[in-house]
Structure formats: structure tokens, C-alpha cells
């Protein structure tokens, strides 16, 4: 990888929190930043224009799912993932490592790699470190991830240690195989909430000098309190001058804890999945739009939210859409939830730049917890 594939500058710090600029082949990303998840080359229910309009600067795609359908070679033939999905901004693709955890009943794992039974038709998919890299190179994402083994949060120490050692070996194979110069390859540090295992994983990966680093294996069964307690020390294991990515996390309070610990990038399906299930995020907690109390409520989800949903529609209308099983309901609520997450990032960056993040963090926690 050449230096032009990625550059990262930290513009301002407040304690461990930092605000920066990540420059990638398809554009720049202000950090900290939340990445909407586009599993199958789409953020479910939303057009690229809608996603861009709420402030999205980078999307996430899924290696496992895109390899199965429509196939990474077809996407490459059609000009790469950016052209295929009509998104001209940066894209990060995961490696399939999370599916090692989430599809545990449909896969077999060995030192060579992972053999999946497709959740679509039962056909086999073998994902080795080399194959995971090859798929992502075909997709043409700006950031690719190494293949790793993500164990459950409540796994025994021996199981987590085996996953750590396998993830290190796989990262080395990914790095040796990766050749695309306009794509940055990130390593993934595993180890659960056990700091000793995180150190055991981070030290050799840092020595390999990847362009960026991620913390995997969080929000996979451990308590939020355990995750929040572990994050500062785990983040501190990663190189200070390189981007740090917390994978698959999570709620707004978790994002704030990650930012306070020095994390730069986040992703999670929670805002769009919750939107499809009539759950809205607000600065004062969540709202369940299916509840009967909203049937006559003329207020928007959030009065100060500038998103299309909040500036045009009432809670009563959204309640109606979900009661009538209209597809516009999930679309509008997904749009709002992502806008809420992205606005949280904007406000966090501004607070860091002015030295007020600690106050901002405390005030937002108080509102989320109903102490305002």
C-alpha cells in the first residue's frame, strides 16, 4: 500500500478524545464518524442521495454477503462497489470475521480459514484470509479489513486466546496477500474484555505496521458496563497517529464512550434495524412508535432535528404507517435514526475542538438517562 491510499491527521485532542481528518481515495472523512451499514450494497430502504443528505461521509459493506450475492467478481466486472451501488464516497468493507461469530451454527473454522454454509441456499463458501482479501480487492473499497476470528464475549479464556492467536496469523497472511495500492488494509485486535489478551493480540499487529487498527469482539455478549470499562485501555494499545475503529458498536451512549476512549470510526446496524422495527432514537432516549400513546401525537420525533422525517411528519403519522404496515414507516424512521447518530458525531467533533467534550458527554448521558 502506498501512502496515498490513506492519510490521517488529528486536528484536536481533549484527553483521549480526538477530532481528525481521514483522507481516502474517494474522499475525506471527519472523525469521529459513524458509518451506516450497507450490508448488501445498500443502506436498507434508503437511496444514496438520502444517505448523503443526512451527513454520511463513509459507508460499510459486507464481504461475506456480497461474495454470496451477487458475487465479488460480478461487482468487479461492473466497475467496483462504488459504481455498482451508486455511492461515490469512501467505503469500508468488513472481512467476514463477524459472521464467524454471528453464523456460528453454519460454519466450520480451522487454521486454514472458515467454511460457511450459505444462509441463502446452503451452498458452501470457503473464506480464507487470502480469499477475504481477494473479495475486498474485487469490491474496490477504500478500507479493507483482515479476516479475524470473533469469539463470543462470554467465551472461556482459552477459547479467546486461541482466537487471538489465529487472528494474528490470519492478519499476517492477509497483509502478505494484499496488493491493491489504492486500498488501505486494517488489522483487528481481539481479546474480549481481557486486557492481557488484548495486549497479546495488539503488540504483534502493531509491529506489522498496518495503516489502521480496529477493536473487534465488543458488543458480542458482554455487558455494556464491561465494554465501557475496557475501552480506554484497549484503545490505548493502538497506535496514536493511526485511525482507530470500534466494530459493531452500538447505542449512542456506547459511541460516546468510544469517543472518550479515543476511537475514530464506528459502525452498527442498530439505527436502521431499530428504524425498521418502529424504534426511534432521540437525545432523551428511545421512542416506540407502535405504542398507542402516539396515535394522536402531532409532534415530530425530535423538535430540533433537521432531518426530512422530523421536518415533515408527526409521531401520529409514523404510528399510522407502522400500524398499516406501510414501507414508508421503516424508511422514514431509518433516515431519522441515522441522522440522529450522525448529528451526534457532528456535535462530538465540535465539542472536542472547543475543549468541551467532557461536559458535552456528561450532559448527553444525563439526557439519555432521564436526568435532565
Confidence of residue 297 (pLDDT cuts 50, 70, 90): very high
Asked if 213 and 143 count as a contact pair (C-beta separation under 8 A), the reply is no
26 half-sphere exposure, CB direction, 13 A CA radius: 20
* The predicted structure's pLDDT at residue 371: 61
Is 266 in a helix, a strand, or coil? strand
* The predicted structure's pLDDT at residue 183: 98
Q: Which domains does the chain have, with CATH numbers?
A: 3-268 (3.20.20.105), 275-368 (no CATH)
Least confident of 95-99, 152-156, 178-182, 288-292: 95-99
User: What is the C-alpha separation between 264 and 77, in angstroms, rounded?
Assistant: 33
On the question of pLDDT at 146 being above 60, the answer is yes
* The predicted structure's pLDDT at residue 214: 98
User: What is the C-alpha separation between 36 and 294, in angstroms, rounded?
Assistant: 28
Q: Give, in order, the Cα–Cα distances in Å from 23 to each of 10, 91, 165, 205.
A: 12, 12, 31, 22
On the question of pLDDT at 142 being above 70, the answer is yes
**pLDDT-above-90 percentage for the chain:** 90
Give tens-digit pLDDT for 238-289. Answer: 999 999 999 999 899 999 999 999 999 999 999 999 999 999 999 999 999 9
Q: CB-based contacts of 276: which residues, under 8 Å, 6+ apart?
A: 44, 45, 330, 333, 334
Catalytic residue ranges: 94, 267
* The predicted structure's pLDDT at residue 52: 98
Give tens-digit pLDDT for 166-190. Answer: 999 999 999 999 999 999 999 999 9
Confidence of residue 120 (pLDDT cuts 50, 70, 90): confident
Asked if 241 and 231 count as a contact pair (C-beta separation under 8 A), the reply is no
Confidence of residue 352 (pLDDT cuts 50, 70, 90): very high
Grid coordinates belonging to 158 = 482459552
Question: Average pLDDT over the chain, rounded to whole?
Answer: 95
* The predicted structure's pLDDT at residue 99: 84
* The predicted structure's pLDDT at residue 2: 40
User: What is the C-alpha separation between 165 and 91, in angstroms, rounded?
Assistant: 28
On the question of pLDDT at 203 being above 50, the answer is yes
Q: What is the dihedral of CA 99, 100, 106, 110, to 10 degrees?
A: 150
DSSP single-letter state for residue 37? B
* The predicted structure's pLDDT at residue 101: 74
* The predicted structure's pLDDT at residue 370: 83
Amino acid at each position: 500500500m502506498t501512502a496515498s491510499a490513506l492519510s490521517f491527521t488529528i486536528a484536536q485532542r481533549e484527553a483521549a478524545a480526538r477530532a481528525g481528518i481521514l483522507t481516502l481515495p474517494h474522499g475525506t472523512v471527519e472523525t469521529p464518524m459513524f458509518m451506516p451499514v450497507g450490508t448488501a450494497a445498500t443502506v436498507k430502504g434508503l437511496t444514496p442521495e438520502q444517505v448523503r443528505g443526512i451527513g454520511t461521509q463513509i459507508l460499510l459493506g459486507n464481504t461475506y454477503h456480497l461474495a454470496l450475492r451477487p458475487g465479488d467478481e460480478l461487482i468487479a466486472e461492473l466497475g467496483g462497489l462504488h459504481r455498482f451501488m451508486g455511492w461515490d464516497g469512501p467505503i469500508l468493507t468488513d472481512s467476514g470475521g463477524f459472521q464467524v461469530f454471528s453464523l456460528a451454527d453454519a460454519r466450520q473454522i480451522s487454521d486454514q480459514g472458515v467454511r460457511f454454509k450459505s444462509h441463502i441456499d446452503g451452498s458452501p463458501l470457503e473464506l480464507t484470509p487470502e480469499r477475504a482479501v481477494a473479495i475486498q480487492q474485487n469490491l474496490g473499497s477504500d478500507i479493507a479489513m483482515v479476516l479475524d476470528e470473533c469469539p463470543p464475549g462470554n467465551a472461556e479464556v482459552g477459547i479467546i486466546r486461541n482466537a487471538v492467536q489465529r487472528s494474528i496469523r490470519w492478519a499476517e497472511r492477509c497483509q502478505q496477500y494484499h496488493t491493491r495500492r489504492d486500498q488501505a488494509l486494517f488489522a483487528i485486535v481481539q481479546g474480549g474484555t481481557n486486557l492481557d489478551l488484548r495486549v497479546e493480540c495488539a503488540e504483534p499487529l502493531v509491529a506489522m505496521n498496518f495503516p489502521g487498527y480496529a477493536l473487534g469482539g465488543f458488543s458480542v455478549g458482554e455487558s455494556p458496563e464491561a465494554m465501557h470499562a475496557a475501552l480506554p485501555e484497549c484503545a490505548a494499545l493502538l497506535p496514536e497517529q493511526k485511525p482507530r475503529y470500534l466494530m459493531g458498536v452500538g447505542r449512542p451512549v456506547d459511541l460516546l464512550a468510544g469517543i472518550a476512549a479515543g476511537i475514530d470510526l464506528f459502525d452498527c446496524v442498530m439505527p436502521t434495524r431499530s428504524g425498521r422495527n418502529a424504534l426511534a432514537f432521540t437525545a432523551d432516549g428511545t421512542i416506540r412508535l407502535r405504542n398507542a400513546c402516539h396515535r394522536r401525537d402531532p409532534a415530530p420525533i425530535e423538535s430540533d432535528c433537521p432531518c426530512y422525517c422530523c421536518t415533515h411528519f408527526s409521531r401520529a403519522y409514523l404510528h399510522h404507517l407502522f400500524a398499516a404496515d406501510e414501507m414508508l414507516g421503516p424508511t422514514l424512521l431509518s433516515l431519522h435514526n441515522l441522522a440522529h447518530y450522525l448529528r451526534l458525531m457532528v456535535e462530538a467533533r465540535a465539542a472536542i475542538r472547543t475543549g468541551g467534550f467532557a461536559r458535552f458527554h456528561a450532559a448527553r448521558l444525563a439526557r439519555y438517562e432521564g436526568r435532565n
